[in-house]
Amino acid sequence: MTVGTTRTGRAVGRAAVTAAVLALAGAALLFVLKPLSIQLPAGGRDESWIAVLGEAAARSARWGVDITFTYGPASELVTRYFTEGYLLRAVPVLCGLALVHTFALALLARGAVKGLRHGAWLVPLALAADAAALATQLALDIDAFVYALVLALLLLDLARAPKDRAAAATVLSGAALLGAIAVAKTSFGVAALGVFILADVRAVLARRRVPALLPACLAGALACFLGHGQSLVDLPAYLDLQGQQASGYGEAMYLASDGVELGAFLLGAAALVAVSGLGGSPGRGGRVAAALGTAFLSLVGLKAGFVRADTHTQIAWSLLGQGGLIVAVGLVLPRSRLGAAALGTGALAVLWVAGPLFLLAATGRDASLAHLPDVYTGMRGQLAAELDAVGRFARSPSAFAARARSDKAAAWAAAAAARPMPPLSGTVDMLPSEQSAVLANGLDYRPRPSFQEYPTYTAGLIAANAAFYAGPNAPDWVIFGMGELDDRYPAAMEGALWPELLRRYEPRTRVGPWVALRRRADPLADPLSPPVAVETVLGRPAALPFTGPVFARMTVRPTPLGRVAAVLFRPPALTLRVTLANGDRQDYRFVPAMAAGGFLLSPLLTDADGFADLALGHAEDTGGADVTAVAVEGAPWARFFYQPSVSVELRRVTVPAAAPSAASAPLVEDLARALPWRRLVRAIGRAGQLDGDRLTALPPTALTIPVAGARRLRLKFGISDAAWTDGATKGVCFAVAASPGAVPIWRRCLDPAAVVADRGQQSEDVDLPPGLAAVTAETSCREDCAWGWSYWGGIVPEN
């Protein structure tokens, strides 16, 4: 009877473990990797890079030569962007990662409970806890899952017996798969290589095995690189530019973090490192390796989450939670069930409570427990969609693929309808990060290597783009627009390309809010004069020695500490402060490599029209405010990270005025019609707020408009569509008064959310009383100023 009961208990225990293994593998696929939730084309900045990378990989573009980004040729493993090869290439790798994760956790748990009374029942409990952890990742990216898997493989390698074949196979296959996914995203490779080097060094010093994890990881990466149509010949160039992307990220892409959130994460990470060291595997270097590996991955999570501290911080919190659960199972459970339970409960609390509360705060919502369910509201629909996709794929993979093709074609059609473009004959590049529109309209897209403007932030990336435009493969057409991200100086994004664009391209036609430039048969002379050197220091303004258009190169060099900070996290922020001719000062983010590459400093241009006027030789008509002085500012401690000297090189920009080609005549006429409004905007010192022909006027604003001799004002005004389609605007009131606070001469309130007629740009002609020298154009809030995205499209005095 006793034997029968024991056999029955063991059978039930094995069944429970099997069920838990299957459940965890399913959780990894359904909640995290989601291989069948395919990405389709769409408009937008992020959607554009996803589409460009997916289509480039499908067409065997050469990474490091033709294209570069923070993601590599296997980006589909992360983005799940659908191409003809996606199901065959990506789905097996993602399923393999799910299985490796599951077996690594199961084997860690098996080893941890060995010898413990009733220990076998703890294995399914540990796996169930991990499945609960993965359930929190349904709406998040896979970054934390990948980093946590690296940690799990490290702990399994440190704990496994030399003859444990299952553990050895799991660790080696996991290393190879992590090498493969490193070809999808550079930071995955950094995490895997750092930890596997540590594991191999420890194994050699402890005389446990030959170094195998690093070779397995490199082999997996090479196989994936070649399997995605790449060549060994391009590997050095690929590694160089990927390294450029990684090295410049912290300095260029930061968003300041909340001090409380950052401090809380650092405390949690320090505690986890301490637990890893104290509970690490005994023997030669086991505890040290566990602590170092946990610390290194925490540093990777810190940089991934808190350099750009918006919703990216969820990567760090997810890693802390998943890593805490892995440490609880692999290191703490063999020594203390109670300790493992406490750490595991804390890890789940980080994932289910702490992380989501910080997410609520980052997205401007009420970060209280009462609103915690808001984070999980959409999960049911996402899970249902993935389950539906799994069911359709299981029933007929061919039908699944056919529907994906059809959905992709429909998505391209919708993107083209949303952003139509003329049929430009020849090759096309696009400076603004809206490349999906080019692809959707069937144009012959031939991008520069660093194809979006905002991540072109190191000397190597800037040089690669400059070489492309100076070479034989430069495009026939360039769709030009000004980039907008993180308060950077508008002309600094791809600013180094402007002299070449002014020399080699002619503005031809409007394309939505942008201008299409056509390559000239005969380039113009170099528009830049010989340089004038100006030396200054951090915090001290440097006056511009001449007026008119000025191209600048500004060099600020890091100290040794600054270089270390850029690698480990990020150096402190620097600010570019410009003084305008009217005395106003405006601050922008200063990205050292972009400033050193060069940019148009004066006038302060903010739109494609201003560039077009400059390129046509009408520098006086650009609408931009003249800059008279410039300074690089920083916090007091910035001097420890940057050398105090600032080298400034200034050049006049001269583009000769010439008769435009017949094809450019309509654009020239359009620019001329808008000139009075642009000159007025420049005169009142508001050129920095121009967005195309729209002058941003978020309420409350009051603009002084000179009207001497005018009998009427011709007004154009409105509220941006996104304020009522994506937001919840309560409306804005527009008015013209003889002076601030006076009874309005004219007033109109718009409420586009409720009144259809108030949508889009409005027009009014307002008669003025005689004898006025100036009037005030005002915007004010109707109820509250949230989503009050108002603008003036024109305020033109007429006689």
Number of other CB atoms surrounding residue 531 within 10 Å: 14
Residue 76 is assigned to a structural domain of this protein: no
pLDDT in tens, 440-481: 999 999 999 999 999 999 999 999 999 999 999 999 999 999
Residue 757 has which token pair?
Answer: 């007629």
Alpha-carbon gap, residue 89 to 94, rounded angstroms: 9
734-753 pLDDT per residue, tens? 999 998 889 999 999 999 99
Domain finish residue from 331, 355, 377: 377
Tokens 């290393």: give the residue. Answer: 175
Is residue 432 situated within a structural domain?
no
Together in a domain, 755 and 670: no
User: Pick from 601, 565, 596: which is nearest to 254 by CA?
Assistant: 565
* CA–CA dist 182, 185 (Å, integer): 5
Apex 763 CA angle, 434 and 708, nearest 5: 110
The per-residue pLDDT for range 501-559, each reduced to its tens digit, is 999 999 999 998 899 999 999 999 999 999 999 999 999 999 999 999 999 999 999 99
Q: Quick one: which of 118, 126, 142 has its CA closest to 23?
A: 126
Question: Please, are residues 94 and 66 in contact by the beta-carbon 8 Å criterion?
Answer: no
The pLDDT tens digits for 80-134 are 999 999 999 999 999 999 999 999 999 999 988 887 776 677 888 999 999 999 9
Q: Which residue has the higher pLDDT, 437 or 209?
A: 437
Amino acid (one-letter) located at 280 = G
Q: Are residues 158 and 139 in the same domain?
A: yes
d(CA 462, CA 593): 8
Residue 647 phi/psi, 5-degree rounding, is -95, 125
Q: Are residues 498 and 578 located together in one domain of the fold?
A: yes
Percent of the chain with pLDDT over 90: 72
Q: 218-243 pLDDT, tens per residue?
A: 999 999 999 999 999 999 999 999 99
Could you tell me if 93 and 162 lie in one domain? Answer: yes
Of 350, 377, 404, which residue is a domain's last?
A: 377
Answer whether residue 519 is part of any domain. Answer: yes
Q: What are phi and psi of 429, to 5 degrees?
A: -120, 160
This prediction has a pTM of: 0.88
Q: Kind of pairing, strands 427-430 and 444-445?
A: parallel
Quote the CA–CA distance of 582 and 361 in Å, as a whole number: 39
Q: Is the pLDDT of residue 682 over 80?
A: no
Pick the closest to residue 776 from 762, 792, 790, 761 (CA basis): 792
DSSP structure class, residue 328: I
Q: What is the C-alpha to C-alpha distance for residues 620 and 671, in angstroms, rounded to an integer?
A: 13
Residue 642 buriedness (CB in 10 A; 0-12 / 13-18 / 19+): buried
Residues 120, 17: contact at Cβ < 8 Å? yes
SS3 246: helix
Residue 234 included in any domain: yes
The answer to whether residue 3 is domain-embedded is no
Backbone angles phi, psi at 472, to 5 degrees: -75, -15
Asked whether 475 and 428 are in contact (CB, 8 A), the reply is: yes
pLDDT band at 718 (very low <50, low <70, confident <90, very high): very high
Looking at the fold, whether 343 and 391 belong to one and the same domain comes out as no
Side-by-side strand order, sheet with 585-589 = 542-543, 627-634, 574-580, 585-589
pLDDT at 137: 92
- Whether 527 contacts 502, CB under 8 Å: yes
Enter the tokens of residue 204: 């050699």
pLDDT attached to residue 426? 96
Within a domain: 442: no
Q: Which domain holds residue 385?
A: 380-415
pLDDT at 2: 37
244 and 384 together in one domain: no
- DSSP type of residue 699: S
Closest-CA residue to 511 (of 613, 438, 414): 438
- The phi, psi pair for 620, rounded to 5°, reads -75, -10
Domain count for the chain? 4
428, containing H or E segment: strand 427-430
Identify the burial level of 772 via C-beta atoms within 10 angstroms of its C-beta, where 0-12 means exposed, 13-18 middle and 19 or more buried: middle
> Given a cut of 50, is residue 75 above it in pLDDT?
yes
Nearest to 136 by CA among 469, 331, 304, 359: 359
Question: Is 523 in the same domain as 623?
Answer: yes
pLDDT of residue 380: 82
Question: Tens of pLDDT along 18-62?
Answer: 888 888 999 999 999 999 999 999 998 899 999 999 999 999 899
Average pLDDT taken over every residue of the chain: 91
Range with the poorest average pLDDT among 138-142, 214-218, 348-352: 138-142
Cα–Cα distance for residue pair 500/615, rounded to 1 Å: 11
Statement: residue 207 has pLDDT above 90: no
Distance of alpha carbon 613 from alpha carbon 598, whole angstroms: 20
Residue that is written with structure tokens 């990927």 in the block: 242
Question: 497 and 572: one domain?
Answer: yes
Which token pair is 154?
Answer: 């490290």
Decide if 466 is inside a domain.
no
Ramachandran sector of residue 68 (left: φ over 0; alpha: ψ -120 to 50; beta: rest) = beta
Alpha helix (H) ranges present in 313-420? 313-327, 337-349, 355-362, 379-395, 397-418
Note whether 197 and 155 are within 8 A (CB).
no
In the predicted model, is pLDDT for residue 12 greater than 50? yes
Are residue 371 and residue 397 in the same domain, yes or no? no
CA distance linking residue 716 with residue 791, whole number of Å: 9
Cα–Cα distance measured from residue 698 to residue 557, given in angstroms and rounded to the nearest whole number: 37
Q: 420 in a domain, yes or no?
A: no
Tally Cβ neighbours within 10 Å of residue 469.
22
CATH of the domain at 708: 2.60.120.1060
How far out from the chain centre does Cα 72 lie?
15
The whole-number pLDDT of residue 514 equals 93
Query: Does residue 235 share a domain with residue 357?
Result: yes
Tell me the pLDDT band of 692, cut-offs 50, 70 and 90: low
Q: Which residues pair with 586 in a beta bridge?
A: 578
706 and 669 housed in the same domain: no
Alpha helix (H) residue ranges in 419-504: 435-440, 459-470, 498-504
Residues 326 and 389 in one domain: no
From 674, 689, 696, 550, select the one nearest 612 (Cα to Cα): 674
